[in-house]
Amino acid sequence: MPEFKIQHITRYTYEGLVRDSANQIILYPITDVAQEVLKHDLTITGNPVVDTHIDYYGNQVGSFTYLEKHSRLVINSEVLVVTHPKELPADDIAADEQWQMLASVQFIVPYIDFLKPEYFESLPELITTIESERLQGETPYQTALRFAGYIYKNIKYLPGVTTVESTLDEVWKLKAGVCQDFAHLFIQILRLLKIPARYVSGYICPNHNGMRGEGATHAWAEVFIPNYGWIGIDPTNNCVANETHVRLAVGRNFSDCSPVKGVYKGNSGHMLEVKVSVEYKGLPSSEPENLIPTNQFIQTIESEPFTTNSYRRYQEIMLMQQQQQQQ
């Protein structure tokens, strides 16, 4: 029964004053048989009222606004979580039968949402790869582990080469990326194999075992195994995601789960820093690392100080959007 105290700080620093900020956070660990939240403290600049709701995928989502002019916004989430290891799939049903069971759920909610592969340019190449790597006669569980291993071996873990907006094409061509890209590619492969797979965002708490993904939010996938249910598989570390992985949210893709996102008005320049640190019960805390500057989770509506005319500054961008077709 590992117990973790996780501190997750998100800090936006703006070049000038910004206002009218609206934000959405998915920072509430999932509570179920494998995960308990003992305590959760959330502090946000300006102390806004955070309203929460449960989204379509069952995640708890918070939203808040901050209208006053400000030059920084800090979201500090401190959570005390206990995890319970989950037994691994027995995987003792014949492979054929399991594949059939998967085929029979493909038009059923929720699986239908986690089966649609996305189109990208190198799709044919990926399909060929899958065909040649795949071993006939293996169960869905074995197949999933095989491809987690394939990704682990063939994709380089290289922070900084990709961003949250990187496409599968870029990742496939670079053969490198971070946990998000690993999870993204993994999910795509599983879906092409007709195995339901969903994106998971959360934290990894490896207790100094040198696993990848520490210090920031982590991402992996959950795979649906017949007669078992969803099992977490982490292609970045080539392992089953069990009691050292703390889940925040699940969804079809990154954007269903992005931990923090926001929109504001003001000068466009901003810096975003994220830090995640984990303390283990009875063990010294991991060295607090410096905030890692990332380039994530934010969109800006550019608006310059009012100089000439209200119309000019928005003209270009608005012209495009305003011409949207009316029915």
Task: Check binding of 20 to another protein (CB under 8 A).
Answer: yes
Task: Check binding of 259 to another protein (CB under 8 A).
Answer: no
Give the nearer residue to another protein in terms of CB position, either 82 or 263: 263
Minimum distance, C-beta of residue 107 to another protein, in the bound complex (Å): 5
Contacting residues for 161 by C-beta, under 8 A, at least 6 apart: 174, 176, 177
Minimum distance, C-beta of residue 322 to another protein, in the bound complex (Å): 4
Q: Give the residue, chosen from 3, 36, 55, 138, that forms a contact with another protein under the rule CB under 8 A.
A: 55
Minimum distance, C-beta of residue 130 to another protein, in the bound complex (Å): 20
Give the nearer residue to another protein in terms of CB position, either 128 or 315: 315
Chain centroid, CA 126 distance in Å: 22
Give the nearer residue to another protein in terms of CB position, either 132 or 323: 323
Question: DSSP of 114-173, one letter per residue?
Answer: G--PPP-TTHHHHHHHHHHH--TT--HHHHHHHHHHHHHHHSEE-TTS--TT--HHHHHH
Give the nearer residue to another protein in terms of CB position, either 66 or 230: 66
Q: Give the residue, chosen from 13, 24, 129, 242, that forms a contact with another protein under the rule CB under 8 A.
A: 24
Q: Give the residue, chosen from 146, 261, 271, 273, that forms a contact with another protein under the rule CB under 8 A.
A: 261
Task: Check binding of 326 to another protein (CB under 8 A).
Answer: yes
On the CB side of 266, CA atoms within 13 Å amount to: 22
Task: Check binding of 103 to another protein (CB under 8 A).
Answer: no
Task: Check binding of 47 to another protein (CB under 8 A).
Answer: no
Beta bridge partners of 233: 221, 240
Task: Check binding of 69 to another protein (CB under 8 A).
Answer: no
CA pair distance 87, 85, nearest whole angstrom? 7
Element (H, E) at 39: strand 35-44
Q: How far is CA 107 from CA 113, 116, 250, in A?
A: 9, 11, 19
Structure token digits, residue 166? 């990187």
Contacting residues for 270 by C-beta, under 8 A, at least 6 apart: 12, 13, 14, 15, 18, 298, 300
Give the nearer residue to another protein in terms of CB position, either 94 or 301: 301
Residues 104-143 that bind another protein (CB under 8 A): 107-109, 112-113, 116
